[in-house]
Amino acid sequence: MQTLSTPPNAAPASVGIDPTIVRRKTRAVPVGDVFIGGGHPVAVQSMINEDTLDIEGAVAGIRRLHEIGCEIMRVTVPSMAHAKAMEEIRDRLIKTYQNVPLVADVHHNGMKIALEAAKYVDNVRINPGLYVFEKPKSDRTEYTSAEFNEIGEKIRETLKPLVISLRDQNKSIRIGVNHGSLAERMLFTYGDTPEGMVESALEFIRICESLDFYNIEISLKASRVPVMIAANRLMVKRMDELGMDYPLHLGVTEAGDGEYGRIKSTAGIGTLLAQGIGDTIRVSLTEAPEKEIPVCYSILQALGLRRTMVEYVACPSCGRTLFNLEEVLHKVRSATDHLTGLNIAVMGCIVNGPGEMADADYGYVGKQPGYIALYRGREEIKRVPEVDGVEELINLIKADGRWIDPQ
Ligand code: SF4
């Protein structure tokens, strides 16, 4: 027999869980004037798709991304000519725009290229699977520990000059492991697994540490979301065991485009951020890089990690809805989306609306046919004809001194 009845749509009783995300404690790693980790806001980054040798195009691409909020710009440097081009790109940015945090992306056997690029950029990204690249042998059946260590020694010798250069300039490195390009010896030793990804990163971290260099950022990316999540979780576990506190860069590689690309990225990045893991993010879309930045900000805003826009709460509408919710939400959004920091709710009826609009600063709620009620917090302020609803909402925000004119 049921003795206590709870309305089916009532909010669950609080069980004392603080919804604030507690971020993993990491050291602050500089990338130009932006810091990754150390309690700094989760930084947004992207990569231009112009050819680095097209100096004018690259400068314009970097500037375009920076102007819409991208905080760290990555540029590919596949050859020495590309690395040298970074000098002019940096100079032109300073002369025609401003200095911006730049990362050079180095691939196969890129030691000399990385050393050159390190003079002009703030951070060099290397891929442990490619930095010392040995062509896989098709007839290989095993890797002896002697062979494993021999390549390890070669990596050390090759990484050392880059580490010293970055260390002496107080710049930083990203050890960026990709699931799809693990070194052959890691594949033989650990398999194509999150463990192999983590061990690849740890090998490079240890070399950096042995040279007294700690400006290290780690990324473990995969195109399969569960692999990316598992690798980052394991990395955190291993770092905790080893007393390491390096910040993590999160991303799902080759996420694709459109809705599914955004959902994949959000599933991978958002899941980890919600657990306090992650200090900088990139959403990789097969679209113009400018399209990536709003997705990054939406993930961060949805999790309460950064506040870059108005937070709208709107009910999905149902048979009780008293006005065209989609249309009204669109109107409210168009009128108020520059009021960054505000929470505004648009709810279809007063039955559930006021209770469900959570912590909204203002509410626009269907009252009766043809009329809506405006709320400040949980208090109903006035009832107005629906046709005047948006204007009256603006008047209320103005009366409270919280309105600013759109630019
Ligand atoms: S707030 Fe009202 S109109 Fe909106 S979904 Fe809930 S019951 Fe339906």
Is residue 127 within 8 A of residue 181, CB to CB? The reply is yes
Distance between CA atoms of residues 398 and 394, nearest Å: 6
pLDDT the model gives residue 15: 58
Q: What letter does residue 229 receive in the DSSP assignment?
A: H
Which atom of ligand 1 is closest in space to residue 349's alpha carbon?
Answer: 2
Ligand 1 test: best mutation among 318, 356, 364, most atoms within 8 Å of CB?
Answer: 318
Give me the pLDDT at residue 148, please.
Answer: 84
Please give the C-alpha separations between residue 393 and each of 88, 240, 376, in angstroms, as whole numbers. 51, 50, 10
Collapse the DSSP code of 381 into the 3-class scheme (helix H, G, I; strand E, B; otherwise coil) and give the result: strand
Tokens at residue 347, please? 């709810």
Report the separation in Å between the CA atom of 127 and the middle of ligand 1, taken as the mean of its atom positions.
Answer: 51
**Average predicted confidence (pLDDT) for the chain:** 92
pLDDT average, residue stretch 156-175: 97
| Span 296-331, pLDDT tens digits | 999 999 999 999 999 999 999 998 888 899 999 999
pLDDT tens per residue, range 91-126: 999 999 999 999 999 988 889 999 999 999 999 999
Q: Looking at the predicted structure, is the pLDDT value of residue 201 above 90?
A: yes
Q: Is any ligand 1 atom within 6 A of the Cβ of residue 321?
A: yes
Is the minimum distance from the CB of 16 to ligand 1 under 6 angstroms? no
Nearest residue to 104 (alpha-carbon basis) of 47, 37, 178, 182: 47
pTM: 0.90
Taking CA atoms only, the protein residue closest to ligand 1 atom 8 is 318
* Ligand 1: centre distance to CA 346 (Å): 10
Spatial separation of the C-alpha atoms in residues 295 and 366, rounded to whole Å: 31
Q: Does ligand 1 come within 6 angstroms of the Cβ of 355?
A: no
Question: Given a cut of 80, is residue 230 above it in pLDDT?
Answer: yes
Report CA(230)–ligand 1 centroid distance (Å): 38
Ligand 1 proximity of 348 Cβ (cutoff 6 Å): yes
Q: 117: Cβ below 6 Å to ligand 1?
A: no
The predicted model gives 135-153 an average pLDDT of 82
Q: What is the pLDDT of residue 142?
A: 79
pLDDT 10s digits, 24-64: 999 999 999 999 999 999 999 999 999 999 999 999 999 99
* Residue 144's pLDDT band (cuts 50, 70, 90): confident
Is pLDDT above 60 for 352? Answer: yes
Whether 60 is in the pocket of ligand 1, judged by its Cβ within 6 Å, is no
Greater model confidence, 105 or 135:
105
**Under 8 Å between Cβ of 45 and 284:** no
**Looking at the DSSP assignment, which residues form a beta bridge with residue 104?**
75, 124
> What pLDDT, on a 0 to 100 scale, did the predictor assign at position 20?
87
Nearest CA to ligand 1 atom 5: 317
The pLDDT > 70 percentage for the chain reads: 96
Give the mean pLDDT of 269-287.
97
Instruction: Work out the angle between the directed axes of helices 292-302 and 258-265 (0-180°, nearest 10).
Output: 40
Residue 18 has pLDDT above 90, yes or no: no
The finding on whether 363 has its CB within 6 A of some atom of ligand 1 is no
- C-beta 313 within 6 A of ligand 1: no
Q: Is the pLDDT score of 198 beyond 80?
A: yes
Residue 7 predicted with pLDDT over 50? no
Per-residue confidence at 260, pLDDT binned at 50, 70, 90? Answer: very high
Nearest to 206 by CA among 197, 196, 216: 216
351: Cβ below 6 Å to ligand 1?
yes
Read off the tokens for 95: 């002369």
| Nearest atom of ligand 1 to the alpha carbon of 316 | 5
Structural domains in the chain plus CATH codes: 29-302 (3.20.20.20), 311-399 (3.30.413.10)
What single string gives the DSSP state of each residue in 261-295?
A: HHHHHIIIIIHHHHTT--SEE----SS-GGGHHHH
